[in-house]
Amino acid sequence: MPDRISHDLSARAAVVALRVAELLETTCSEEAGGESSAFLRDWADGAMGRAEQIRGAGPLTGTPFDRLVHRLGIGPLEAELVLLAGLPEEHEGLAGTFRTMHPGGEPHPSVGLASLLVDRAARRAAQHAGVHGRPADRVALRRLLHEGAVVRGGVLTLEGDGPFHERSLILADQLWEALHGHRAWPSSLQEVDPGPQVAGLDGWLGLPEVVRAVAALRSSEPRVLLVTARDETVALSRCAALAGAAGLDLVAARARPDDPEAMRLLGLHAAVRDAVPLLVAVPQPGGSGPLTPAVTRVRGPLLVCAAPGAVRPGPQRPVLAVPLGPIESADRRAAWRAALPDAWEHAPELAARHPLDPALTAQVALDMRGRAGLAPDAGGEDTTQVVDVSAAIRARAGTLLPPGVELVSPCAEWPRLVLAEEADGQLRDAVARLKHQALVLDRWQLREAARANRGVRLLLTGPPGTGKSLAAEVLATAAERDLLIVDASELVSKYIGETEKNLAACFEVAERTQAVFLLDEADALFGTRTEISEANDRFANMETAYLLQRLDRFDGLAVLTTNLRQNIDEAFIRRMDFVVEFPLPDDIGRHRMWQLHLPAALLHSDVDLEALAQCYPVPGGWIRNAAIGAAFRAADDGATVRQVRQNHLVDAMRREYGKAGRPFPGSPPGQSATGDRRAARALAVAQISAPAPDMATDRPTQKERS
């Protein structure tokens, strides 16, 4: 078929070449135009002969040239001008011939040559009709070259600084090659591959707004269909699904929406391919505001893929906003089954653990297929495991992470967490809310009735070492999701806009991987907004406002931790679904922590964990550090010592007090005589509860950091 299309176009151009040859023979001397006329006729005869041989297979219809004429409403005279302008692209000899005829020596037909051809054709038609007088087709030609469909649509442009009739007729970049049926593409336009259609979008395609969008694509009416998403992969996947449902192809390019030349070329190359043009919008440098697409150069419907706020449709065309979701659980399972058919039985587990958009599921499957057979023991058998999928997701998402941010697979479970009953219950309720939000918000319609937001937001407050970060890991394990650990102090930048950029990248990865988002030391970012007294205050408040909005849009599980609740802006407190206090553990809690961190088989008979718990009112982080330190001390005591002794634990705890700069209350009763244990213990409790200089009053504020 491509060869038939190409020969058919050459035969159409050959008809125009014969008219040019006839013009040369009647207006020029044999010496001046004979050689050029002979070459034109020889080439035209050969092109028409080859096309005639191919036509034996049947008439050829629906060629790219026919599509262009139909889509732009091009008349017979304008179609002949297009063929004339394309002749220099057919053969180097033709380009040389037109160079000899051009007043400026250009290898293109001039407006004057086109006028002579029109004059000759008009006179011949008039004589055939028996009409006397000179026809006014030069006037019509001038009008067409200023206002006609081929000029308004960008098919032809007039180039040159000379008089009107000395200007050149130039086809749009790579258009002639595209009319030949080749996948030619303009050098000034960046082509985009929308990707294949993916499984898992059947439910989405049944949404009323999406059904209307498909109908709009099938119609020839000019409309703008706007698909906005922070993740371009997701948006492109939706565009491919829309075109597939409409039975159409896509031609996509990345360009500035307000660039008329880019929009013109996109519309033309979509027209010759009988496809829907898809613009992937490039935002304005500096992000100063949305851009309005130059849609007047594009015929029919136009798909626009853009980030939120990057495009503002103009008043020239009706606009249809295409939603991205929701994607139901059944469709997510279908996406995993289609993406990894060899791991069919894992689809429910994968959909629950990684509820990705179907477009991202297809990307992960591509990575998995690329790894297949690379393991030495693969043996040609399927080795797909849920853990391998998690690793593939982390590998893709890790490239987007700013420095100081980690994406990990959690392993801590509920028994590792020692909390009061109320705090434990709130954490379990948070996991349950995440699990059932599709049922409650969508099926029970509380999203509309109560204006409930998707996602779950928790604020964990309490002194350092009380288990806030561990609780986030336990939540991620219970939710069967990865954990994205973000240290807020690492994200804060003195440069304007960098803090928001860093945090936006973290949220994007969390949404792509459906990871639990842990923002440690959140008061560094979510601190109380201040009165504006200088420029830094204004930008700090802008950061806070941005983060408030971004947190509202996050539909996963977000965990914020702080040592100082009083430093958190009240606006953030109101947005939290749960505020969980992590106080210092009591005697029973500390005893349980000692037991968790020290297996009974390692303990010498002189160890009294209950006495340690009563004597040292410290947070769980101290107990963990002391247990590890004591074990290494025991190992270093020699081959004869196989177990951790009480003195190892007491010495390790003394060091923990020393690191914090606090008075050591001494050994538990029965270990040494250090005076009134009750008084020492009361003093220790008071000092542990008091804020340390590096975590409270002496900590630099957000304003000071700026």
The 10s digit of each residue's pLDDT in 199-228 is: 999 999 999 999 999 999 999 899 999 999
Assess whether pLDDT exceeds 90 at residue 371: no
**pLDDT of 247-266, one tens digit each?**
999 999 999 999 999 999 99
Q: What is the average per-residue pLDDT within 149-171?
A: 92
Residue 130 to residue 133: CA distance in whole angstroms: 10
Nearest in space to 583 (alpha carbons), one of 416, 412, 467: 467
What was the pLDDT predicted at 706? Answer: 35
What was the pLDDT predicted at 310? Answer: 87
**pLDDT of 567-601, one tens digit each?**
777 777 888 899 999 999 999 999 999 999 999 98
- CA 96 from chain centre, in angstroms, equals 49
Residue 326 to residue 209: CA distance in whole angstroms: 12
What was the pLDDT predicted at 673? Answer: 38
Assess whether pLDDT exceeds 60 at residue 530: no
Nearest in space to 663 (alpha carbons), one of 687, 629, 692: 687
- What does residue 25 show for φ and ψ, rounded to 5 degrees? -70, -30
112 touches 84 (CB < 8 A)? no
Assess whether pLDDT exceeds 90 at residue 318: yes
What was the pLDDT predicted at 130? Answer: 61
Q: Does domain 414-581 bear CATH number 3.30.70.20?
A: no
- CA 354 from chain centre, in angstroms, equals 17
Q: What is the average per-residue pLDDT within 618-647?
A: 86
Angle between helical axes of 2-27 and 111-129 (0-180°, round to 10): 80
- CA 256 from chain centre, in angstroms, equals 17
* CA 535, 541, 544, 545 torsion-angle sign: negative
Give percent above pLDDT 70 in the chain.
Answer: 84
Assess whether pLDDT exceeds 70 at residue 95: yes
Band (452; pLDDT cuts 50, 70, 90): confident
Band (699; pLDDT cuts 50, 70, 90): very low
Assess whether pLDDT exceeds 70 at residue 179: yes
Comparing 294-308, 605-619, 678-692, the range with the smallest average pLDDT is 678-692
Place of tokens 């039975």: 247
Residue 479 to residue 477: CA distance in whole angstroms: 5
Residue 371 to residue 388: CA distance in whole angstroms: 10
* CA 578, 583, 588, 590 torsion-angle sign: positive
Instruction: Give pTM, 2 decimals.
Output: 0.73
Band (675; pLDDT cuts 50, 70, 90): very low
Task: Give the architecture-level CATH label for domain 587-689.
Answer: Orthogonal Bundle (1.10)
What was the pLDDT predicted at 138? Answer: 80
Q: What is the average per-residue pLDDT within 286-292?
A: 73
* Residue 620 three-state SS: helix
Band (352; pLDDT cuts 50, 70, 90): confident
Assess whether pLDDT exceeds 50 at residue 700: no
Residue 141 to residue 338: CA distance in whole angstroms: 57
Sorted by where each begins, the domain ranges of the chain are 2-179, 190-321, 329-399, 414-581, 587-689
Secondary structure E strands in 544-657: 557-562, 578-581
The three state secondary structure string of 413-466 is: CHHHCCCCHHHHHHHHHHHHHHHHHHHHHHHCCHHHHCCCCCCEEEEEECCCCC
What was the pLDDT predicted at 488? Answer: 77
137 touches 119 (CB < 8 A)? yes
Q: Which two tokens stand for residue 65?
A: 């040239």
Which one of 359-368, 402-411, 644-653 scores highest in mean pLDDT?
Answer: 644-653
Nearest in space to 245 (alpha carbons), one of 201, 278, 281: 201
Alpha-helical segments (H) within 170-228: 175-179, 202-205, 208-218
Q: What is the DSSP letter of 521?
A: T
Band (432; pLDDT cuts 50, 70, 90): very high
The three state secondary structure string of 366-391 is: HHHHHHCCCCCCCCCCCCCCHHHHHH
Assess whether pLDDT exceeds 60 at residue 383: no
* Residue 157 three-state SS: strand
